[in-house]
Amino acid sequence: MKIIIVGGVAGGATAAARMRRLSEEAEILVLERGRHVSFANCGLPYYIGGVIARREALFVSTLETIKAKYGLDIRTRSEVTKIDREKKKVQVKDLETGKVYEESYDKLILSTGSSPFVPPVRGVDASNTFTLWTLADTDRIWSFIEKERPPKAVVIGAGFIGVELAENLVERGIDCTLVELTDQIMPPFDPDMSIILEDHMREKGVRLMLGRGLESLAKDGKEVRLSDGTVIFSDMNLLCMGVRPNSELAGEAGLELGPRGHVTVDRGLRTSDPDIYAVGDVIEVDEPLLGGRTAIPLAGPANRQGRFVCANILSDETVEVYRGSIGTSVAKVFDLTAASTGMNEKQLKRAGLVYGQDYFYSLIHPMHHVSYYPGALPMTLKLLFAKDGRVLGAQIVGYEGVDKRIDVIATAIHFRGTVRDLAELELAYAPPYGAAKDPVNFAGFVAENILEGLTDPVTAAQYLENPHNYVLLDIREEAETMASPVKGAAAIPLSQLRQRLDELDRDKRYLVFCAVGLRGYVAERILKQRGYSAYNLLGGLRTLEILSGPEQEENDKEERTRVMDTAHEELTAEPEIIHDLDVCGLSCPGPIVEVGKYIKDLEEGEVVNVRATDPGFSRDVASWCENTGNTLLEISSGGGYYSASIRKGTGKKQSAALVTSGDPKSQDKTIIVFSGSFDKVMAAFIIALGAVAMGDKVHMFFTFWGLSTLRKDLRVPIKKAFMDKMFTGMIPRGTRGMGLSQMNMLGVAPKMMRKVMKDKGITSLEDLVREAASNPAIEMTACQMTMDVMGLKEEELIEGVKIGGVASMLNDADKSQFTLFIS
């Protein structure tokens, strides 16, 4: 049997090698129009950026090696110009000599691929304007950069290649503008996910021009004119506006083509001619999720198709069934990794499906491994699923562990898995690699809650469209709300929600939110079971901030750049004392608390460079500086880390600072701790330390059951009367004996909560108490009258506690900005 393969990259090269492994007798001829076969076209942008240093590394294997290894007849620079289906011959032109000849075939495989789309506009033939698809394209771009050293470049088209090129041009030190006709980059992603990538690219210096198309190029490509009239001055232009299938040869031969010009094949990859097969970018295949047809120009599907087609050709029947492609992909976007699989929400809507009826999605912001292990970095995961629970697609954006999770979900989709399957998956876990509840498991848990009616999620987009339909209820702890307040939101910390239900109106619709959505769900369940109308903001405040603030953030960023440049010029006239503070792995409010403690010991004008992994740190530290009279000199991010440079005080030039305030706040806060419940005492100390971090002084007055907080863990041998011993025995020794205010579960619940806190890197209550006791800005007072009633002696209390009465408490309250009573 003589088999001719037209095209020797990806699918064609794979088919040739597989065919030889299956049959030593077959005569295999590969005809390739270009100079090279089997090269790594996915690596071309990284060679241009210098990440791949050697051009030779782009060759998967050399022509001579392939010929020798597989015994193939491979002819490069040989273009097939015509197919005679009746005679079963192809016409071939030798592009080196111009000679035209014919070759007969028994079976023919078309792997002609695709080509970059070049719009029919004026000026695209300029010498500084390129496409990137082949090694020849790469060599031209490389040579131009090396010779001309262009300061500025414009990339037109923000798909995978456009985004990768923009990144690699920036790596080469070239100022880059990325232009995209649609209103987002990266088409496989929904806008609520792509906006994370867009913000990151702006942070890295890429100028984004979205919602604007290419109108023309003028002045030898030096002026790029856009559809809205904008003119960009450029030294180099790269056209990355999508690809078109190279199906002209098939079309001229009378083979059936799809609506967008792709060759139509069956599940055995056979065309409308039983002796001609096709693979790769040139074909359209089944879309297995909604039952339509699709074209996926990716290397993965092309290589699998090249493998599957061989057995079908040799057996002359469909032995290997190609079930279609779900479009699993991944891309590096500077420090971020972006991955997707299956359908996105845009595709579901185009297919006529309705959110909340036909499909739903969960949206979470987990760490890539447990937060207590060093280096935990955040990711955002969006999981789309049908009303019957079948997984339809997923998108993930993060720093580490993204590819691992998308591959798990892609596997579930391949086997028609459901969200319950994701929840039940047993995945590898050790602290450096994941969590006992992996992000994939967690996405499944949230999806199950939605389908079971345990939660009524409201997306950030739904809220922004109709904000007046809900009353916002912020259930974050006070230290968090101080750092990043939400205008117009009622605030009741989750730890106080059950005790303050009477402050809520049963006739109102409450949209509950926390930082990322988890505590919001807990609060929603509390309210629903108490008869309130409650909904949870999907993805929490983090998603709402992402969607509601990009334009303002861009304006702020430009102003920050201008002001920080001024600050740098005016504040570095003389040597500075600079300190370093690492708060990586701490969750809110931990980073801000540590910053407040560290700044307190610095001299006026000294600078501390802070490094954190908490995604909310950038916003929190700006608010903290504004409230404490310190100067935020710089904010930056990279590699999953967030950095801030802070000067103690307002420095020499207050106007030069990014964030300054007037006089530091000096109003005291008074907290009366009546409760002896673990969760309530925890809230009291978080609030206290948060207030101190904001520069305030805090008076904590402990009375009745709250006195257990101040008891030493070990028994102190003191002579007491019988009644004193009775009362003292009713008070736990220290915080370790405390139960929860609700659902204590015979002491099991506080142990569970402590484990969760440890897993998430949250400071323990014992550490908070020790920290407060040693902090001179926090005054802890034990109620003398209650001590007498309970039979407690001063020797039984921890160090640093004062003894006082109601008069001293009232005096503190009179001086305070507010007084909290925690019962």
CATH code, domain carrying 604: 3.30.110.40
Could you tell me which of 216, 207, 212, 221 has the C-alpha nearest to residue 150?
A: 221
Model confidence at 389: pLDDT above 80 = yes
Model confidence at 337: pLDDT above 90 = yes
794 and 675 assigned to the same domain: yes
- Cα distance between the two ends of the chain: 87
Per mean pLDDT, which range of 32-41, 100-109, 202-211, 435-444 is the poorest? Answer: 32-41
**pLDDT tens digit sequence for 158-175:** 999 999 999 999 999 999
Q: Is residue 324 part of a domain?
A: no
Q: Is residue 806 part of a domain?
A: yes
**pLDDT tens digit sequence for 174-212:** 999 999 999 999 999 999 999 999 999 999 999 999 999
**pLDDT tens digit sequence for 760-794:** 667 788 888 888 888 888 988 888 778 878 888 88
Could you tell me which of 497, 500, 405 has the C-alpha nearest to residue 444?
A: 405
Q: Is 795 left (phi over 0), alpha (psi -120 to 50) or beta?
A: alpha
- Please give the residue that has the higher pLDDT: either 266 or 619: 266
Question: Using the 8-state DSSP alphabet, how is residue 516 labeled?
Answer: S
Q: Number of H helices and number of E strands within the chain?
A: 25, 40
- Please give the residue that has the higher pLDDT: either 9 or 342: 342
Cβ–Cβ < 8 Å for 301, 308: no
Could you tell me which of 329, 398, 336 has the C-alpha nearest to residue 366?
A: 398
For 817, the token pair is 């900005």
Predicted confidence band at 704 (pLDDT cuts at 50, 70, 90)? confident
Model confidence at 659: pLDDT above 60 = no
What's the confidence (pLDDT) of residue 565? 42
Which one of 430, 451, 472 terminates a domain? 451
Q: Is 168 left (phi over 0), alpha (psi -120 to 50) or beta?
A: alpha
Determine the Cα–Cα distance for residues 718 and 235; give it in Å rounded to an integer.
85
571 and 709 assigned to the same domain: no
Q: What is the CATH number of the domain that holds 9?
A: 3.50.50.60
544 and 557 assigned to the same domain: no
Backbone angles phi, psi at 12, to 5 degrees: -65, -45
Longest dimension (CA), the chain: 114
What's the confidence (pLDDT) of residue 719? 67
Q: Is residue 272 part of a domain?
A: yes
Count structural domains, the chain: 6
Cβ–Cβ < 8 Å for 90, 80: yes
136 and 106 assigned to the same domain: no
Model confidence at 744: pLDDT above 70 = no
Model confidence at 318: pLDDT above 50 = yes
200 and 151 assigned to the same domain: yes
Please list the residues that pair with 233 across neighbouring strands.
Answer: 223
Model confidence at 564: pLDDT above 60 = no
Active site (annotated) includes residue 783: no
Please list the residues that pair with 336 across neighbouring strands.
Answer: 333
Q: Is residue 328 part of a domain?
A: no
Q: Is residue 740 part of a domain?
A: yes
Which one of 425, 451, 477 terminates a domain? 451
Query: What is the rounded radius of gyration, in angstroms, for the C-alpha atoms of the chain?
Result: 33
Average pLDDT, the chain: 87
Residue by residue, DSSP assigns 717-760 as: -----HHHHHHHHTS-SSGGG---SS--GGGHHHHHHHHHHHHT
Question: From the CB of residue 769, how many other CB atoms can be counted at a distance below 10 Å?
Answer: 21
What's the confidence (pLDDT) of residue 61? 78
Residue by residue, DSSP assigns 532-576 as: -EEEEETTHHHHHHHHH-HHHHHHHHHHHHHHHHHHHHHH-SS--
Q: Before 575, cis peptide (omega within 30)? A: no
What's the confidence (pLDDT) of residue 747? 64
Q: Is 522 left (phi over 0), alpha (psi -120 to 50) or beta?
A: alpha
Could you tell me which of 243, 234, 187 has the C-alpha nearest to residue 207?
A: 234
List of residues 6+ apart from 562 with CB closer than 8 A: none
Determine the Cα–Cα distance for residues 16 and 7; give it in Å rounded to an integer.
10
Predicted confidence band at 26 (pLDDT cuts at 50, 70, 90)? very high
Q: What is the CATH number of the domain that holds 523?
A: 3.40.250.10
**pLDDT tens digit sequence for 72-88:** 999 999 999 999 999 99
Question: Using the 8-state DSSP alphabet, how is residue 611 labeled?
Answer: E
- Please give the residue that has the higher pLDDT: either 457 or 633: 457
Of 42, 176, 310, 584, catalytic: 42
Question: From the CB of residue 560, how many other CB atoms can be counted at a distance below 10 Å?
Answer: 18
- Domain of residue 651 covers 551-656
Question: Using the 8-state DSSP alphabet, how is residue 506 labeled?
Answer: T
Determine the Cα–Cα distance for residues 37 and 57; give it in Å rounded to an integer.
14
Q: Is residue 320 part of a domain?
A: no
CA distances from 624 to 168, 364, 415, 481, 589 (A): 36, 26, 49, 11, 11
Which one of 614, 635, 656 terminates a domain? 656
508 and 527 assigned to the same domain: yes
Determine the Cα–Cα distance for residues 453 and 640; give it in Å rounded to an integer.
35
Q: Is residue 321 part of a domain?
A: no
- Please give the residue that has the higher pLDDT: either 595 or 125: 125
Could you tell me which of 332, 393, 335, 334 has the C-alpha nearest to residue 362?
A: 393
Could you tell me which of 562, 512, 507 has the C-alpha nearest to residue 534?
A: 512
- Mean pLDDT along residues 546-565: 47
Could you tell me which of 574, 578, 584, 559 has the C-alpha nearest to residue 645?
A: 578
390 and 298 assigned to the same domain: no
Strands (E), 253-335: 263-264, 276-278, 283-286, 293-294, 329-333
CA 362 to chain centre: 14
Question: pTM (2 decimals)?
Answer: 0.73
536 and 649 assigned to the same domain: no
Question: Using the 8-state DSSP alphabet, how is residue 492 labeled?
Answer: -
Q: Is residue 583 part of a domain?
A: yes
List of residues 6+ apart from 274 with CB closer than 8 A: none
Question: Using the 8-state DSSP alphabet, how is residue 659 labeled?
Answer: B
- Mean pLDDT along residues 731-756: 73
226 and 145 assigned to the same domain: yes
Determine the Cα–Cα distance for residues 710 and 799; give it in Å rounded to an integer.
9
CB burial of 18-42 (b: ≥16 within 10 Å; e: otherwise) equals: bbbeeeeebebbbbbbbebbbbbbe
For 733, the token pair is 């020794």
**pLDDT tens digit sequence for 458-472:** 999 999 999 999 999
771 and 701 assigned to the same domain: yes
Model confidence at 490: pLDDT above 60 = yes
676 and 723 assigned to the same domain: yes
467 and 586 assigned to the same domain: no
Model confidence at 439: pLDDT above 70 = yes
Predicted confidence band at 508 (pLDDT cuts at 50, 70, 90)? very high
The dihedral of CA 758, 689, 487, 506: what is its sign? positive
Predicted confidence band at 21 (pLDDT cuts at 50, 70, 90)? very high
Question: From the CB of residue 230, how many other CB atoms can be counted at a distance below 10 Å?
Answer: 12
Cβ–Cβ < 8 Å for 87, 105: no
